[in-house]
Chain A
Amino acid sequence: MSTRTLMRGTLTLTMDTLTNPLQYGFMQRALVEVVLMGIVTGAIGTYVVLRGLAFIGDALSHAIFPGVVVAFLLDRSIFAGALFFGVLTSVGIGVIAKNQRVREDSAIGVLFVGAFALGVVLISSTRNFARDLASFLFGNVLSVSESDIIISALVGAAVLATLILLHQQLLAASFDRLAAQAMGLPVFWLDILLLVLISLTIVVSLRAVGNILVVAMLVTPPATARLFTDRLPHTMALSALLGASAGVIGLYISYYQDVAAGGTIVLVSTAAFVTAWLFSPSNGMLATRILRRPLVVAGGEPEAQVVLESPEIRSHER
């Protein structure tokens, strides 16, 4: 009986822990915002990871910064400003990558970090320089307005719809670019489209995690999902789930510990990755490096090793 009371007490405590923050409007809005952000970054991030675009994602997030600042200074929607610069940069990267004399990473280093510096200089003219800069760089999810959420939802829906509608084409162009091009797919424009979608996603994530940390949300959840999945739609779905979960868990932790939400969300995501990297049953360090070795030694037969290494067995494990 006393055990039951204790259990009920614990349960109530847990429920309270979850519901308490929700009495505040800003927490409700923040929660919706991080879930939206987590889903969209997780989905598009799968392409960022598979195509090796982490550096380009970083560049994009830097390059849209002056757009955000200009819109902020002119008191216009930061979404519009960021979107304009994001699309401009996406096309810019695509065009520069076509010229083989300019190495892509050099171009990114020169132009887009330059753009970022422009943003910093512009924002340094404002009175609340340090605070404004910090909120752009690291997000300020507790200040999300309803109109921010509506825009995030619309932009996020557009990104997801594009990913679903063009799934076959994007998949083919990402897996085997040459063969896709040979089939007549416009791989150059699909690349540009992908960069535009990434820009849009960064814009959606600005409020939640900010300019700098968004790269982590584009890379970490998909990299984690990659350890468990063998088909792109599964990777995307799991990655979206991981992104949204990291957003929610991170937000709660930041509420109770009174620390920055954006950073906490990224740290939760990072922790999930490290855990998966160690313990994933199919691809984790523990499974592939430690558990498998003693099994073969203990078996003592050469066949044991062959069986363990055969693709059929490994695919059954999953």
Chain B
Amino acid sequence: MSDMAPARREVTSGPVAAADHDSCLVLRDVAVAYGRKVVLSEVSADIQRGQVVGVIGPNGSGKSTLLKAIIGLVPLVSGKVSLFGRPASAARGRMAYVPQRELVDWEFPVTVFDVAMMGRLPSIGWLKRPGRRDVGIVEDALDRVGMLRHRREQIGRLSGGQQQRVFIARALAQEADVYLLDEPMTGIDTAAQEVILRIIDELKAEGRIVLLATHDLASASCACDCLCCVNQRMVSYGPTEQTYTPEVMAQTYGGLPVIMLNRADGTLPDVHAHDEHTHAHEGHTHTHDGHTH
């Protein structure tokens, strides 16, 4: 597809859509501003079905902003986002978004089941009640994250990890093509982290696209096919093997000290950016490669 195309061109015809078939989610020179301040720019990526893309970068680098821009929560000042050759704004129901946990009032009188059912809203539509099929899908989704037996509990009575699993279930119930997860592993127990990593693998196997904004470079490097490294602008985008390098990490994390660690068995290195949310992993041989500034 041409880069010269105007930002909001409707692409509905067959040939163009077919040409885009491999690249399901396409970002072209995406830039976002809050007021007059440009907070993120030059983001371009072609993302295929079944790909897991890690969005990484330091605090305030625009990771969350990128996810919000893709799903249309913040307007683009330039560039475009398209899904299956059509503007993303026309395909909102096909993208599921899991926001950061801190943004929600957990004392709200809703049960686990109610929250997961919210994922069915784009399908149910206006003025209609959830049908038996919706209930079945929601129960399946809760079962997949191991929360079905908690379905009647008020959401605030769960642990942070359980709450996050319910949010994942809500996204699953949406049966979307694209899953945008904003820091899903931050501040939750390892059991919930494992559930989320397993779900990401399952979504990948089902041919869905997952975008994972995360501080946790170690799990990003393991779980993701591609990395989108951002720091106010896109520093690098590409397969994890090519982007998960000391050079790219140094560029991405700018002035911040980055320690790159190699596993003893010589597989992909674990990288820990020094960041308040990054936890040191136990049990790895911490062979020191050097500080980069």
On A, residues with C-beta under 8 Å from B are 50, 165-166, 168-169, 171-172, 174-176, 178-185, 226, 229-232, 234-235, 311, 314-315
Contacts and interface: CB of A to CB of B under 8 A. Distances in A.
B110 A171 contact: yes
A-B CB proximity, top 8 nearest: A184-B92, A182-B97, A230-B154, A311-B157, A172-B118, A178-B99, A182-B71, A175-B108
B4 interface: no
A307 to B, nearest CB: 15
A172 B123 CA distance: 14
A176 B157 contact: no
A184 B99 contact: no
Which size bracket describes the interface of B in this complex?
35 or more
B110 A184 contact: no
Interface stretch (B25-33, B124-132, B224-232, B254-262): B124-132
Contacts of A234: 109
A50 B118 contact: no
B264 interface: no
Interface in B18-55: none
Chain A CB within 10 Å, residue with most, of B129, B130, B154: B154
A276 to B, nearest CB: 15
Contacts of B98: 179
B121 A232 contact: no
B243 interface: no
B92 A168 contact: no
A166 B128 CA distance: 8
A183 B92 contact: yes
Given A183-B93, A315-B157, 16 more contacts: A168-B118, A169-B126, A178-B97, A178-B103, A179-B118, A180-B121, A181-B73, A182-B73, A183-B122, A183-B174, A229-B109, A230-B111, A231-B110, A231-B154, A232-B109, A232-B114
A178 B108 contact: no
Contacts of B126: 166, 169
Interface string B65-104: 0000001110000000000000000001101111100011
Contacts of B118: 168, 171-172, 175-176, 179-180, 183
